[in-house]
Amino acid sequence: MTEPVLSVRNLQVEFASRRGTLRAIDGVSFDIAKGEVLGVVGESGAGKSVTGLSVIGLIDPPGRISGGEIRLSGLRIDNLQPEEMRRVRGKRIGMIFQDPLTSLNPLYKIGDQIVETIRTHLNLSAQAARRRAIDLLAEVGIPAPEKRIDGYPHEFSGGMRQRVVIALAICAEPELIIADEPTTALDVSVQAQIISLIKRLGRDHGTAVMLVTHDMGVIAEASDRVAVMYAGRVAEIGPVQDVVRNPLHPYAKGLMGAIPTLAGEEKRLVQIPGSMPRLSAIPRGCSFNPRCASAFDRCRVDRPEPLPRGTQSVACHLYDSVPAESAA
């Protein structure tokens, strides 16, 4: 098996606050292979975005990576010097943010922003960089790129701006793209276009993609594998069909149950009772136990570790064969 493009092992991220240290990410591990799209899904505050930001090294103080390691094609990147990490950002890891309306500097032509990024990372002349920028704009589906390259961000629609943002993210042929809620701010019709664009680019260039979203529809549509996050941990990870059709973790079951189906009869969607705990009040044992219908004594004491189960991996005591208490 070839080395994964991104390998995250036991990642921990902490935020120092006045009330002590809050652990936003606690022991997250996953891999993304070349050309693979990993969907990361979970509620707001589950740690999806923080995971993405820690991979690209953009966690703002007081947050910091306090444990674990992140490897990009084998190279450890979580402990690089700021200047070395800057060279990795944009060059080897591209990032797409949620809101295309605010991601671009309003005072610069989009072409100038692309050329600037290209020339920061690649040794190209201004003309060559401009030609490359036009090609990139064409590739992400901007019509008449040789004309639009001299447009300002406000002259583009939201969907078009997100295409420009994607062009910026891929302009130095990165090995990995982190897309943090890339479609949340867009119209539904545009969402599908952007998702298929990201998917196509990943396939054509062999780029690994980490797709962070809370939208299960987007995950089912675009990703090869999916990681379900809850309260700073990975609850379940596995191939997308398996996790969607046969979720193992009670939280993942709840999430899948909350997806409306077109074909099914009209029945109330299943709701997970309660809400995710705040970082300052994560319960002992499994962090999901207060909301879990199948929780038993051990869940309130022991923290479950991820266990392989078929193609999936799940962090839940229900699937732990060692203790005698069988699944409820």
Partner 1 sequence: MLAFTLRRAIQAIGVMIAVGIISFSMFRFAGDPVNQMVGMDTSGAERAAIRKSLGLDDPVIVQFGRYVGNAAQFKFGVSYQFRLPVANLLMERMPATLELAVVATIFAMVSGILMGVYSALRRDSWLTHVFQAVSLIGISLPTFLIGVLMIYLFSVTLGWLPSFGRGDVVHIGWWTTGLLTLSGLKALIMPSITLGLFQMTLIMRLVRTEMLEVMRTDYIRFARARGLTTRAIHFGHALRNTLVPVITVAGLQFGSVIAFAIITETVFQWPGMGLLFVQAVQNVDIPIMAAYLMMVSLIFVTINLVVDILYTIVDPRLRSTVSRAH
Interface with partner 1 by CB under 8 A: which residues? 56, 58, 86-91, 94-95, 97, 99, 102-109, 116-117, 120-121, 152, 154-155, 165, 168-169, 172
Neighbour count for residue 204 (Cβ, 10 Å): 11
Report whether 104 contacts 153 (CB < 8 A): yes
Beta strand pairing call for 37-41 and 208-213: parallel
CA dist 182 and 167 (Å) reads 13
Report whether 41 contacts 242 (CB < 8 A): no
Pick between residue 166 and residue 231 the one whose CB is nearest to partner 1. 166
Q: Backbone phi, then psi, for 320, in 5-degree steps? A: -85, 120
Q: Backbone phi, then psi, for 151, in 5-degree steps? A: -85, 155
Instruction: Output the smallest distance, CB 236 to partner 1, in A.
Output: 28
Exposure on the CB side of residue 55, measured as CA atoms within 13 A: 33
State both tokens at 262.
Answer: 């077109």
Instruction: Output the smallest distance, CB 55 to partner 1, in A.
Output: 11
Pick between residue 116 and residue 302 the one whose CB is nearest to partner 1. 116
Pick between residue 104 and residue 248 the one whose CB is nearest to partner 1. 104
Instruction: Output the smallest distance, CB 34 to partner 1, in A.
Output: 21
Report whether 290 contacts 250 (CB < 8 A): no
Pick between residue 104 and residue 186 the one whose CB is nearest to partner 1. 104
Instruction: Output the smallest distance, CB 178 to partner 1, in A.
Output: 8
Pick between residue 106 and residue 143 the one whose CB is nearest to partner 1. 106
Instruction: Output the smallest distance, CB 99 to partner 1, in A.
Output: 6
CA dist 255 and 295 (Å) reads 17
Instruction: Output the smallest distance, CB 286 to partner 1, in A.
Output: 34
Instruction: Give the residue among 11, 23, 30 at the shortest CA–CA distance from 313.
Output: 30
Ramachandran region of residue 20, left (φ > 0), alpha (ψ -120 to 50) or beta?
left
CA dist 290 and 282 (Å) reads 10
Instruction: Output the smallest distance, CB 172 to partner 1, in A.
Output: 8
Pick between residue 70 and residue 252 the one whose CB is nearest to partner 1. 70
